[in-house]
Every structure is written in structure tokens, then in C-alpha cells.
Amino acid sequence: MKKLKISLTWQILISLVLGVIAGILMQDCVEFTQTYIKPFGTIFLNLLKFIVVPLVLFSIITSIISMKNMSTLGRLGVRSLCYFMVTTVIAVTLGLTLSSLLSGYFPTIDLSTVEEAPEAVTITLLDQITNFFPKNAIDPMLNNAMMQVIVIAIAIGFSIVQLGEKVKPVADFVAACNEISVTILGYILALAPIGVFCLLCPVVAENGAKILGTFASLIGVTYLGFVLHAVFVYSLAVWLFAKMNPLHFFKNEGPAMLFAYSSDSSLATLPVNMRCAESMGVRKSISNFVLPMGATINMDGVAIYLSVTAVFIATCSGMHLTFDQYVSIALASTVASIGTPGIPGGALALMAMVFASAGIPLEGVAIVAGIDRIVDMGRTTMSVTGDASCAVVMEHLERNNKDL
């Protein structure tokens, strides 16, 4: 009798549905889910994060060694950066447009009840670029600073290519380490259904009821922005520039999207996203370079959320934003959505920066902090999907390039 084999997509989807159902049923047992279920999800997440750095490091070095023309890498990097910047600008514009059109549904909130407002952090585009370059070779590995790991991998890869036969044993060692990393990844992904369930169940148990509260309109507009951006921007991109049926794209990207939603981590989803890209015909030399870079600097979901939240808090506090303030929000959201290693407070610190740029009360950051986890699941899914769409487009643009 033939053994029934369930695909990874269906395994993750079933686990996600079961996690939601269990979370809803256990809303009166939040402490139990946090104490006895969440730790197993954390273990799975830690295993994925553990393999991300060696996987990215060795796979990029291996890809560079296999290239016959080093100018190809530069062209691939520039094209990817342009793609990420264009989709981010569209995401910010979409977020501002939607939140402005639907601002009539936003409630009135008394910000005077907030005892302490967060401190705004000033970040420039030049600061972001500076953060891409590591101070040493160890800290990026320890802190999962992917863009810095990519820079290290490129430096090592170029050096190995230039030295040629002199360092052939090193090249063979790197190739072997890459194979080991891929094998370990396979073992970890076998645990994905358990991990997804244990990650999602506690989140739903703790936050499920809050969705119907004061912030339902904020969550609804933000998720509407996510859906529209995915359906129109990413679909059009893969259809026009990669000549791929959008339905085929989303079907193959399904495991990464589901995993991103439940894990709430672009870095943890990176190994899954690499496999999804390869299932769509993207060569490893492209996916191993584009996806890690995208996981760091391509945050379309963050761009949408920051712009929507800025208008939400401004509206709720009785402000009437001017054109100049909208421009300030757009520019600040674009800069903030690029990866920012070493910034204390993460997304909330970035949100404070966006608010400060337009004179929006910083107390609003503390107000929306409670539902950040719910929205973060969606914006992580959006960012991961954007990375994959870029990889597919780059594969088509470089389809005749035999150097990759």
C-alpha cells in the first residue's frame, strides 16, 4: 500500500489552523500556554536561527566561487536593491492612501492616559548604510546581522576566487560546510508542524480577544494594505518581469508565507524561503544572495504598518495632517523600513522616529504597542513574500547568464 505523503505546505497549514483553534479554546489558560506550549515553539525557532548564519555564510561563499564573472554579482546586487526600494516606496504610498481614505473609521483615543512616552530615535539613510559594514567578524554572527554576514561572505568569496588553486582546500571545505548546513536544515524543517503549532497557540490565547477591541480598525486597514500590496504589486511584478503566473508563485511560496505568519521572524523563515524559491526554478546562486539581503533591508510590511499607524494615531488624537507632514511620514517610513541592526527597542523605536518626523504625539507608540505582535505576523509575511518575488524576477532577468 502506497504511503500518503503530506506536503510541507499542508503540514504547516494544518498546524496553523490547529494552533488558532487551540488558542481560541485556551484563552482562559494563557499562563498554561505560555509555560508549557510556547517553550517548544521557542526551541524550534532557536534551532532555525542557529542554522541561518552558517547557511547564509557558506551558501553565499559557495555561490561566488561558482561564478565565472564577478561583475555579475554587482549587477545582481544593484538590480535587487532597486527592486526593493521601488516596492518599499509603493508600500508607503499605499499605507498612507488607505489610512487617509479610511480615517473616518478610526476611533478617538485619550493619549493623556499614557504615563511615559518613548524616546524618539533619529536614523538617517547614511546610518543605515553604515550599519551594513561590520566592525569585526564575530559580532554579526552572534547578533544575526544578516547584511553584515553577507558583506563578510562576499569578502571571503572574492578572496578565494582571486587566489584560485592556492586555496582550493578552503573552497572544498566551504562547499562541505554548505552541504552540512543544508542537511541540518532538513532535520530542523521536519519539526516545522510542531513548531508552528507551539508558536501560534500562545499568541492567539493571549491576544485573540484584543482584535475586536479599540484597534480593530488599525489592524483591519493594515492587513488590507498587506493584501492589496501582495495581490497587485507582487503579482504584477512576477507576471510582468518574470513571466510567471501569480497563482503559481503564491502556491509555491505558501510554506514560507505560512511559516512567516506563525513564527513572526524573517530570519527564521529564511531557510524555508530559500526552498520555496528553488521550487519556482530560482537558482541557488541567486536565491542564496537575494533572499538574505531582502530579509535585512526589504521590509514592505513594516513600511505599510508605520505609515498606517502614523495616520491612525494622528487621527485619533485630533490632528489634521498637512501635505508636508505626509511627505515627512513617507520619507521616515521608507528609511525606517530598511534593516537597522543595533537600534534599541526595534519596531517601536522606529515608530517613534516616524511619529517625531511629523509632530505626531509619541504617546501613541505606547498605545499601539499592545497589538504590535498581531500585526507583526502579517508584516513579516509581507516582507518574506516580497523577498521571494524579487528572487523570481532576478532569476528571469539573469536567465541567459551562464555565469550564475
119-165 pLDDT, tens digit per residue, is 555 666 677 778 788 888 888 888 777 788 888 998 998 899 888 88
The answer to whether residues 276 and 256 touch, using CB atoms and an 8 Å cutoff, is yes
CA 186/CA 181 separation, integer angstroms: 9
Question: What CATH code is assigned to 8-397?
Answer: 1.10.3860.10
- Residue appearing with cell numbers 524543517: 189
Average pLDDT over residues 94-118: 76
Average model confidence (pLDDT) for the chain? 84
The answer to whether residues 362 and 352 touch, using CB atoms and an 8 Å cutoff, is yes
Q: What is the pLDDT, as a whole number, of residue 87?
A: 94
Average pLDDT over residues 280-309: 88
Average pLDDT over residues 353-380: 81
pLDDT at 389 over 90: yes
Residue 123 has which C-alpha cell? 536614523
Q: What is the pLDDT, as a whole number, of residue 343?
A: 41
pLDDT at 341 over 50: no
pTM: 0.82
Residue 280 identity (one-letter amino acid):
M
CA 345/CA 352 separation, integer angstroms: 10
Q: What is the pLDDT, as a whole number, of residue 276?
A: 93
50-102 pLDDT, tens digit per residue, is 888 888 889 888 888 877 667 777 888 889 989 999 999 999 999 999 999 98
11-61 pLDDT, tens digit per residue, is 888 888 898 899 888 888 888 988 999 899 889 888 888 888 888 889 888
Residue 114 identity (one-letter amino acid):
V
Higher pLDDT, 253 or 357: 253
Q: What is the pLDDT, as a whole number, of residue 27?
A: 86
187-208 pLDDT, tens digit per residue, is 888 888 898 899 888 888 887 6
Q: Which residues contact 68 (CB under 8 A, 6 or more apart)?
A: 402, 403
247-271 pLDDT, tens digit per residue, is 999 999 999 999 888 887 887 888 8
Q: What is the pLDDT, as a whole number, of residue 345?
A: 43
DSSP 53-106: HHHHHHHHHHHHHH-S-THHHHHHHHHHHHHHHHHHHHHHHHHHHHHHHTGGG-
Q: How far is CA 375 from the centre of its chain?
A: 13
Higher pLDDT, 173 or 299: 173
Average pLDDT over residues 298-307: 88
The answer to whether residues 326 and 370 touch, using CB atoms and an 8 Å cutoff, is no
User: What are the backbone dihedrals phi and psi of residue 215, each rounded to the nearest 5 degrees, phi first?
Assistant: -100, 15
Domains of the chain, by residue range, sit at: 8-397
Q: What is the pLDDT, as a whole number, of residue 316?
A: 85
Q: What percent of the chain has pLDDT over 90?
A: 27
The answer to whether residues 396 and 389 touch, using CB atoms and an 8 Å cutoff, is no
CA 360/CA 326 separation, integer angstroms: 11
Q: What is the pLDDT, as a whole number, of residue 158?
A: 87
Residue 285 identity (one-letter amino acid):
S
pLDDT at 342 over 50: no
Q: What is the pLDDT, as a whole number, of residue 223?
A: 93
Q: What is the pLDDT, as a whole number, of residue 68?
A: 61
Residue 275 has which C-alpha cell? 526552498
